[in-house]
């Protein structure tokens, strides 16, 4: 059996040192650099740094929203499960509507997926929220459609749906026209719940000077 590192602190430090050594982080600063590093740490692929699209104030907007008590709205339970709740600045509510009993009927009436139909239940909580989409492209498309129709605007949209049908296209649409919202999106087919929750965790942790580390 080969020797391996067993000290959790050493593993953590070495992991982030490797990310910093291997990833191209020059275009990031402050909070967005911290967010990019956490994304890479979550997926093990340094090249995702090159695929990130974001608005200039994305990190600041998301962080300010959380500090003000805004809810986190997730498209699936897996995205919510990856959020480190103890780091949320004011015990922010984490909301998932996918398994709401009303969703199947909504999906049938709208002729769409359950993930998209679940977005219909976000409206009352959407203003100033942080939206974390890590699974379904149809959820992101549906949110953008509703924003076009005048729905309340979230403070930040984290667009990380994954897959071969609609994932790249939904994120391209978000990056092209974020409907007046700040955003972070991972271009292409890659994404997933672990990545979007890593982005949320970066926002929750804040910058080192904020948390005294």
pLDDT in tens, 100-127: 999 999 999 999 999 999 999 999 999 9
Three-state helix/strand/coil letters over 189-206: CCCCHHHHHHHHHHHHHC
Structural domain contains residue 137: yes
- What mean pLDDT is predicted for residues 53-67? 97
Q: What domain range includes position 118?
A: 51-207
Predicted model pTM: 0.94
Residue 153 lies in a domain: yes
According to the model, what pLDDT value does residue 30 have? 86
Whether 81 is in a domain gets the answer: yes
Give the separation between CA 137 and CA 169, rounded to whole angstroms.
8
Residue 60 is part of a domain; what is its CATH number? Answer: 3.40.50.10230
- Distances from the Cα of 179 to the Cα of 65, 98, 151, angstroms: 18, 23, 10
Say if 10 falls within a structural domain.
Answer: no
Q: Is the pLDDT of residue 208 over 70?
A: no
Asked whether residue 3 is assigned to any structural domain, the reply reads no
| pLDDT exceeds 90 at position 210 | no
The conformation of residue 164, written as its DSSP 8-state character, comes to S
Q: What is the DSSP string of 66-100?
A: HHTTPPEEESSHHHHHTS-GGGSTT---EEE-TT-
In a domain, 111, yes or no: yes
Catalytic residue among 23, 31, 34, 41: 41
Tokens of 175: 């990056």
41 has catalytic annotation: yes
What total of structural domains would you count in the chain? 1
pLDDT at 44 over 50: yes
Residue 211 has pLDDT above 80, yes or no: no
Q: Within 13 A of 119's CA, how many CA atoms are on the CB side?
A: 24
In a domain, 195, yes or no: yes
Mapped onto helix, strand or coil, the DSSP state of residue 147 is helix
- Per the document, the length of the chain is 213
Q: Across the strands, what pairs with 186? A: 52
Q: Between the CA of residue 108 and those of 5, 62, 74, 115, 152, what are the distances in Å?
A: 52, 33, 21, 12, 24
Asked whether residue 59 is domain-assigned, the answer is yes
């Amino acid at each position: 059996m080969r020797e391996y590192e067993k000290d959790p602190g050493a593993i953590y430090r070495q992991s982030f040192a490797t990310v910093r050594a291997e990833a191209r982080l020059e275009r990031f600063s402050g909070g967005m650099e911290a967010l990019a590093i956490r994304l890479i740490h979550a997926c093990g692929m340094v090249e995702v740094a090159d695929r990130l699209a974001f608005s200039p104030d994305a990190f600041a907007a998301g962080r300010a929203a959380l500090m003000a008590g805004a809810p986190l709205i997730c498209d699936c339970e897996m995205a919510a499960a990856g959020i480190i709740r103890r780091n949320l600045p004011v015990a922010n509510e984490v909301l998932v509507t996918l398994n709401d009993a009303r969703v199947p009927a909504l999906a049938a009436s709208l002729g769409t997926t359950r993930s998209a139909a679940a977005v219909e239940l976000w409206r009352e909580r959407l203003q100033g929220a942080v939206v974390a989409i890590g699974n379904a492209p149809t959820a992101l498309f549906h949110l953008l459609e509703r924003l076009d129709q005048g729905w309340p605007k979230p403070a930040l949209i984290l667009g990380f749906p994954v897959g071969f049908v609609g994932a790249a296209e939904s994120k391209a649409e978000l990056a092209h026209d974020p409907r007046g919202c700040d955003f972070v999106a991972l271009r292409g087919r890659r994404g997933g719940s672990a990545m979007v929750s890593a982005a949320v965790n970066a926002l929750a942790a804040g910058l080192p000077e904020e948390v005294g580390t």
